[in-house]
Amino acid sequence: MTEVTAEPASAGGGGGESGGLRRVIGRKVLMLFVVGDILGAGIYALVGQVAGKVGGAVWLPFLVAFVLATLTAASYAELVGKYPQAAGAALYTNKAFGIPFVTFIVAFAVMMSGITSASAAARAFGGDYLGEFVSMPTLVGALIFLALITLVNFAGISESIKVNVVLTIIEASGLLVVMAIGLFALIGGDGDPARALQFHPANGAFLGVLGGTALAFYALLGFEDSVNLAEEAREPQKDFPIALFAGLGTAVVIYMAVAFTATMLVDTKTLETSTGPLLEVVKVAGFSFPPKLFAIIALLAVGNTALINMIMASRLVYGMARERIVPHVFATVHPSRATPWLAILFTVAIAIVLVCTGDIGGLASTTVLLLLFVFALVNVCVLILRRSPVEHAHFRAPTWMPVIGAASCLFLTLPITGREGAVYLRAAVLVGIGVVLWFVNRLIVGKVDDFDVSNIE
């Protein structure tokens, strides 16, 4: 999840309005941002969890998840073209329905999905990858990691496209190493390629792939964050759809190759029980690659995911408090660091509870569940907002894509996917916190009739 604060900019490309953000991002950099936003903790931590759902054919759920994600991506591409502003799903919901409470719940659900994603990444950080350097319980490592990224967040870190490019290269390098290991194994006749084509899920092939897809979706989340760069893209109407679809396609090819390699070289049970499944691949590689070096790459990838999400979450709380749609106390800024320290403490407190009560799979599944509801609503918004055309040209998704996109997102929220009841309870509690904050705030400041959506992200 990426947080970008922006003021409304012009609809077309070629430069923002006076006082707005500069339109400096080209198509290639935008595509790289999409790829970098997708790559991260998901593939480094969840290959084993997905293997536990389907068996050896881990690549298939990633492929199905890509197809379903593309449907929703088409809706984002259309809406970004119509409204090239930075507030994402909250903006589209506000334009489609005009109901402040609904807009708030969408923004709050996105914020909570960032915290659950960061919590899943923290659990991954404290597991086998960190175990290459120091032996400690996963929970202890995860909590220490949360403390470190909280300190960085408090210090006032700000991300930039240049930093994202560097981290993208680091994250991708680790995955390229795994792909090279797979190619080397195929040429040398090592491993068991047939295992990557086998299904042995406990509940049958269909339910197994469905459950794996619902979890693999986590690894493809992040593409929706790229809409926050709409005001800084040179020609968002032309560049965004191409960058978005190309970025998604590039990421899924990497994921499928990595997943195929993992199950070809490592048995499913080992992958399923490991919190650092790709490290298992490196350890059995036919050529020497230092496991500790790969662990560093993985820790950077996982750490970047958590840090970006916690920055986004705390700034969202701050933005909503500034707009007085949650208690204004969360808008308190530290006098010397100029960071929203109370919002930071609020979000990290939730993350600590989540880390202490959930595992990687459960927290990732909660992230997916929250965003699936948001995605379903975005697909509906596309259809509603077609009643309000804009003057400038923009990408238009075929009508069947948002229709099937909304239906598939809602279908993936059902218990048939194998999602545990604890995941639904966790998601309900997290959204419930937002509902409580909303009504507490109404008692304090009175009715909220409207607010500037651009100020809450």
Question: What amino acid occupies position 406?
Answer: A
Torsion of CA 293, 294, 295, 301, to 10 degrees: 120
CA distances from 289 to 60, 160, 172, 268 (A): 27, 31, 16, 22
| Third-level CATH fold of 27-455 | Amino acid/polyamine transporter I (1.20.1740)
Cα four-point dihedral sign 226, 228, 234, 239: positive
Task: Kindly give the confidence (pLDDT) of every residue in the chain, 457 residues in length, as a single tens digit, with 9 standing for 90 and above.
Answer: 433 333 333 334 444 443 444 666 667 777 877 787 788 778 888 888 888 888 888 899 999 999 999 999 999 999 988 887 766 788 889 889 988 889 889 988 988 998 999 899 899 899 888 998 998 999 999 999 999 888 877 776 544 445 556 777 888 888 999 999 988 888 888 888 888 888 776 667 778 888 889 888 888 887 777 776 666 677 777 888 888 899 899 989 999 999 999 999 998 888 888 888 898 898 888 677 888 999 998 888 888 778 778 887 887 888 778 777 778 888 888 887 777 889 889 999 999 999 999 888 899 999 999 999 999 999 999 999 999 888 888 889 999 999 999 999 999 999 988 888 999 999 999 999 989 988 887 787 666 556 566 555 5
Domain-by-domain residue ranges, the chain?
A: 27-455
Whole-number Å distance between alpha carbons of 102 and 3: 20
Q: Helices H, strands E: what count in the chain?
A: 17, 0
| Collapsed DSSP state (helix, strand, coil) of residue 136 | coil
Concatenating the DSSP letter of every residue in 215-283 gives HHHHHHTTGGGGGGGGGGBSSHHHHHHHHHHHHHHHHHHHHHHHHHHHHHHS-HHHHHH-SSHHHHHHH
Q: Which of 436, 412, 406 is nearest to 424 (CA)?
A: 412
Q: What's the CA angle centered on 84, arms 457 and 171, to 5 degrees?
A: 65
For 187-215, write each residue's pLDDT tens digit: 888 888 888 888 776 667 778 888 889 88
Pair 373, 40: CB distance under 8 Å: no
Answer whether 54's CB lies under 8 Å from 201's CB. yes
Helix axes 236-265, 59-82, angle to 10 degrees: 170
Rounded to two decimals, the pTM is 0.84
For the CA atoms of 395, 63, 165, 130, what is the dihedral angle to 10 degrees?
150
Residue listed under structure tokens 């402040």 = 100
3-state SS class at 25? strand
**pLDDT tens-digit profile of 382-419?**
999 999 888 888 889 999 999 999 999 999 999 988 88
Which residues is 25 bridged to in the sheet? 233
d(C-alpha 292, C-alpha 437), whole Å: 44
Q: How many CB atoms lie within 10 A of CB 225?
A: 23
- Rounded Cα–Cα distance for residues 416 and 180 (Å): 37
CA distance 177 to 128: 18
Count CB atoms within 10 A of the CB of residue 403.
16
CA dihedral 49, 54, 60, 64 (to 10 degrees): -80
Per-residue pLDDT at 201? 66
Strand partners, 233: 25
pLDDT value of position 200: 72
Tokens standing for 438? 């909303």
pLDDT at 372: 94
Please state, in angstroms and rounded to a whole number, the distance separating the CA atoms of residues 260 and 126. Answer: 25
C-beta atoms surrounding 199 within 10 Å? 14
Query: Could you tell me the CA-to-CA distances from 395 to 95, 165, 242, 272, 414 in Å, in that order?
Result: 18, 26, 10, 41, 31
